[in-house]
Chain A
């Protein structure tokens, strides 16, 4: 069974602070996705990373895929209250039968 561990599990920070969320596994993935889920809503895809070592930026969010394609990180610069939510990583290879979602990081940004 492929496992994806996310850390930290919970994060409460002040507006304007920076933070990093980690997603780690012992398995290799062909690609990894990051989602944000707000209360009462389904997850929304933020990014897909495919190449080992790849870095993608989405405004204040920076995503990195590990060189060995086993881990990933999400860095948020100058967090805003609108960033509040549950962040999930998901890894897979080939078909969906081996898709694994991370344990989740619940982020609260206090104004």
Chain B
């Protein structure tokens, strides 16, 4: 158990819909990261928040947005969903914010768009 909690574990939704994925970081961790893992694209970094502020942006689509709340939990919002958005979405957390800091991953949310 990494200490990072993601909900829900599985999500099935239709194209065009909007969903929200939730992440609770490890106690004491200020950084939260979101990743997408698909068969064709592999693991891709989406976005990082540190203590409530956006720190780095990766390959995140404009239809996707995220935020980190004062209690440090984070949400990833995916809208106008397409079949190609079907993937595993991971959240990770770490104490620090720079590349190289050890990050701990949650078990992921498997999103299926039908």
Contacts and interface: CB of A to CB of B under 8 A. Distances in A.
Interface of A: 30-31, 33, 40-45, 48, 50, 88, 90, 92-99, 101-104
A97 B57 CA distance: 5
B108 interface: yes
B25 interface: no
Given A101-B45, A103-B42, A96 B33 contact: yes
Given A95-B56, A97-B58, A99-B58, A30 B44 contact: no
A31 B103 contact: no
Contacts of A43: 43, 90, 105
Interface string B1-44: 01010000000000000000000000000000100000000111
Contacts, number: 62
B51 to A, nearest CB: 15
Interface residues on B, range: 20 to 34
A30 B99 contact: yes
A101 B58 CA distance: 12
A28 to B, nearest CB: 13
Contacts of B56: 95-97
Interface of B: 2, 4, 33, 42-45, 48, 55-58, 90, 92, 98-100, 102-108
A95 B102 contact: no
Contacts of A44: 2, 105
A48 B90 contact: no
Nearest to A99: B45
A92 B42 contact: no
A31 B100 CA distance: 7
A105 to B, nearest CB: 11
B100 A50 contact: yes
